[in-house]
Amino acid sequence: MDTQYSIRVYKQYFNFAASHFLIFKDGTREPLHGHNYRVQLKGEACELDADMVFDFLDIKPIVREVCDRLDHRLLIPGKNPNLKVDTKGGSYEICPPDGSLFVIPKQDVLILPIQNTSAERLAIYLAHEIHQLVRERFNFNFPVLEIEVEETPGQCAIYKFQS
């Protein structure tokens, strides 16, 4: 099944400002810091439906919604086996393997179902969230959905999801 058509969508408002830290293979972590992330989408299809791959007016709110969920949050990788996250009242206690301790109000944290908060893993998360919303709301599957996450200008990760 070769794709022949595609759309690329990148709006100024496809962005989110978030903080994170990576946990490296050896158990060390980078310092807590933040980025102003930008997101681009490329969706491919084998044929056109009503002369379009997918309506721009339908995809833009979905991408924005998913980006908005991440905006102004501390992003925590919920599937990282080396990271301990406990709930204490209205806060999370986050314990990386280096022995440090973060106590952050729950409303400021988003625990993601990913192994790390690298741009690559965030691209995977975004692709799956966007794919699911498009399927739920429009009963449509992009045969190929490519998500680019730029963490700083000129530095991005790309994930290509094939359904």
Q: Domain holding 136: CATH number?
A: 3.30.479.10
pLDDT at 1 over 60: no
Residue 108 forms part of a structural domain: no
Residue 89 domain flag: no
The answer to whether residue 152 sits within a structural domain is yes
**By C-alpha distance, which of 143, 159, 160, 150 is closest to 47?**
143
Domains of the chain: total: 1
pLDDT at 130 over 90: yes
Residue 84 lies in a domain: no
Beta bridge partners of residue 38, listed in sequence order: 15, 150
Domain assignment present for 109: no
> Residue 97: is its pLDDT beyond 70?
yes
User: Does a structural domain hold residue 104?
Assistant: no
pTM: 0.95
Residue 87 domain flag: no
Once rounded to an integer, what is the mean pLDDT over residues 135-155?
A: 96
String of DSSP letters for 29-77 = BPPPEEEEEEEEEEEEESS-BTTBSS-HHHHHHHHHHHHHHHTTEEEEE
Instruction: Classify residue 143 by its DSSP letter.
Output: S
Residue 15, domain extent: 5-78+114-162
**Residue 33 forms part of a structural domain:** yes
Per residue in 117-129, pLDDT (tens digit) is 999 999 999 999 9
